[in-house]
Amino acid sequence: MTAASNAVSSLPNPIAASPAIAAHVDAIVAELKSAQSALTGARPADPSRKAAFDAALARTAEVRGRGPLMPYLGTGLGNGPLVELLDGSVKWDMLNGIGVHMFGHGDPRMVAASLRASLADLCMQGNLTSNQDSVAFAGFLVDEAKRSSRLAHCFVSNSGCMVNEAALKVCMQKTNGAPRILAFQDCFMGRSITMSQIGDTAAYRQGIPLSTLVDYMPFYDPSMGARSIEMAVWHLKQYIHRYPGQHACFVMELVQGEGGFNVAPREFFVALMETCKAAGIPVWDDEVQSFGRTESMFCFERLDLGQYIDVVTIGKMSQACACLFAADMNPKPGLLSGTFTASTSAFQVGLEALRTMRDGGYYGPQGKNAKLHAAFREHANALVAKRPAWFTPVKDAFGRESTQYVGGTGGMCRMTPFGGDKDRILKTMNAAFEEGVMAFYCGHGPYHLRMLPPVGVMQPEQWGPVFEILERAMGRVAEK
């Protein structure tokens, strides 16, 4: 941390720093821990609560216009990877709001940070009214990014989609309004009108007039190896030749999220990034989902790609979201702004989470993230070996078969049972929820069972009870 950012973050709210307040915070956290001690594993719903729970779900559907994807309504009580629902059930939360709650439910450190934040004069901070913690948050990210990249400045917002919009604006201004965007097939960018058009899911842009020009690139194909890199570079050069000077950026997820937790080696990205640099096309690294979840805080750092990155967007586990950019990408006044940047609680909890992850041994080949993923693979591979009938060859878009049933990296974990069939993956997801594990799906064919465990608090041995439940859920689907 630089001297300037350290000076900002060391200036406490005088009320929050009061010994009397600190004692009250400690007392509240102690009461929370006492209540959490009852949550030690999954448990079924309480039949006496069913009517009230069903009524609450019906009210949710009435208010929203449709029911939730999962029948999830919490009591507000959780214990790390475990969460209690209004029906009295307790679930292992391997979804965490698609990776938002890195420290799970009710982590005492995060609760204490939120309590201190509640004493501030501002609930929401913004472009014209900010406290020191907003600067400390942005400064933390810049200092971490600077260690291995050219990134120098940070714009903060309260949504991953909004920082993606900011990144696109920065790139477009830098390229004098170039109208086209390069993106990987199967990418996901968010759900604004523009981001829905860049994201490669037709259902997410149904009924939206298409006004954004997107050229889709093939992602890395591990079955092709070096040939996949050669083909991707060829595709990129074709687009550059066809539309010279018309691309505002190439946006890349270094680990694809919605697309299937797909990964690629460093040389794949280097070949594409060097081609972009030669053509004057900015490189935008979208880490909204992967940030903090791999073996380094920034995924570009793990792959040693910092020298190529012009813009990076992060969010989810950081609570507040951010767009970082190099000095030569710094936009003109007026391009980036916002009434809200984030809540004071988001800044305080985000800083607590970021500092804990940085200083708590989570990163590196032997860090907690890597060990948690290794334990996931151990349990997943054991299940594949035990139940081979549930894991049939998976066909890709070209009809080629694969027997790679376990994938992902760090805190991004996936399995591919039942040949990647969407209907059976969704049934597995729903059965797992009923049995006591919250998971989701990803991919566009084949489909996968996706898990984003709370890597900040989950222990490798806790995969044991999770996989016991997953095995029961898959067994129910297999029987049908």
Evaluate if residue 1 carries a pLDDT over 60.
Answer: no
For range 272-297, the mean pLDDT: 97
Quote the pTM value. 0.95
Residue % of the chain over a pLDDT of 90? 93
Domain-located, residue 340:
yes
Burial class (CB within 10 angstroms; exposed 0-12, middle 13-18, buried 19+) of 203: exposed
- The H-or-E segment that residue 471 falls in is helix 463-479
**Cα separation, 249 vs 168, whole angstroms:** 8
Please give the mean pLDDT across all residues of the chain. 95
Q: How confident is the model at residue 11 (pLDDT cuts 50, 70, 90)?
A: low
Evaluate if residue 5 carries a pLDDT over 80.
Answer: no
Is residue 147 a contact partner of residue 301, using CB atoms and an 8 Å limit?
Answer: yes
**Cα separation, 34 vs 28, whole angstroms:** 10
Among residues 410, 399, 412, which one has the least CA distance to residue 448? 412
What is the domain-level CATH number for residue 291? 3.40.640.10
401-433 pLDDT, tens digit per residue, is 999 999 999 999 999 999 999 999 999 999 999
- Provide the token pair at 284: 């935008």
Is residue 212 a contact partner of residue 194, using CB atoms and an 8 Å limit?
Answer: yes
What integer pLDDT is reported at residue 6 of this predicted model?
41
What integer pLDDT is reported at residue 12 of this predicted model?
61
Q: Are residues 317 and 390 in the same domain?
A: no
The residue out of 342, 359, 376 marking a domain boundary is: 359
Is residue 137 a contact partner of residue 293, using CB atoms and an 8 Å limit?
Answer: no
Q: Are residues 317 and 373 in the same domain?
A: no
Domain-located, residue 76:
no
Q: Are residues 375 and 337 in the same domain?
A: no
List the domain range (segments joined by +) for residue 420: 368-479
Q: Are residues 197 and 261 in the same domain?
A: yes
Q: Are residues 230 and 259 in the same domain?
A: yes
Q: Are residues 337 and 401 in the same domain?
A: no
Q: Are residues 165 and 297 in the same domain?
A: yes
352-378 pLDDT, tens digit per residue, is 999 999 999 999 999 999 999 999 999
Q: Describe the crossing of helices 19-36 and 108-117 by its angle, rounded to 10 degrees.
A: 140
What integer pLDDT is reported at residue 373 of this predicted model?
98
Q: Describe the crossing of helices 132-146 and 344-359 by its angle, rounded to 10 degrees.
A: 30
Among residues 324, 374, 353, 308, which one has the least CA distance to residue 456? 353
Domain-located, residue 273:
yes
Evaluate if residue 382 carries a pLDDT over 70.
Answer: yes
Q: Are residues 341 and 432 in the same domain?
A: no
Write down the H helix ranges in 119-243.
132-146, 160-174, 193-198, 226-242
Residue % of the chain over a pLDDT of 70? 98
Q: Are residues 338 and 473 in the same domain?
A: no
Q: Are residues 271 and 137 in the same domain?
A: yes
285-332 pLDDT, tens digit per residue, is 999 999 999 999 999 999 999 999 999 999 999 999 999 999 999 999
Domain-located, residue 210:
yes
Domain-located, residue 244:
yes
53-82 pLDDT, tens digit per residue, is 999 999 999 999 988 889 999 999 999 999
The residue out of 359, 391, 409 marking a domain boundary is: 359
Q: Are residues 396 and 334 in the same domain?
A: no
What is the domain-level CATH number for residue 454? 3.90.1150.10
Structurally, how many domains does the chain consist of? Answer: 2
Domain-located, residue 47:
no
- Provide the token pair at 275: 């081609």
Domain-located, residue 86:
no
Evaluate if residue 3 carries a pLDDT over 50.
Answer: no
Evaluate if residue 132 carries a pLDDT over 70.
Answer: yes
Omega before 14 within 30 of 0, i.e. cis? no
Q: Are residues 213 and 162 in the same domain?
A: yes
133-172 pLDDT, tens digit per residue, is 999 999 999 999 999 999 999 999 999 999 999 999 999 9
The residue out of 325, 359, 393 marking a domain boundary is: 359
**Cα separation, 221 vs 112, whole angstroms:** 45
Domain-located, residue 309:
yes
Is residue 25 a contact partner of residue 164, using CB atoms and an 8 Å limit?
Answer: no
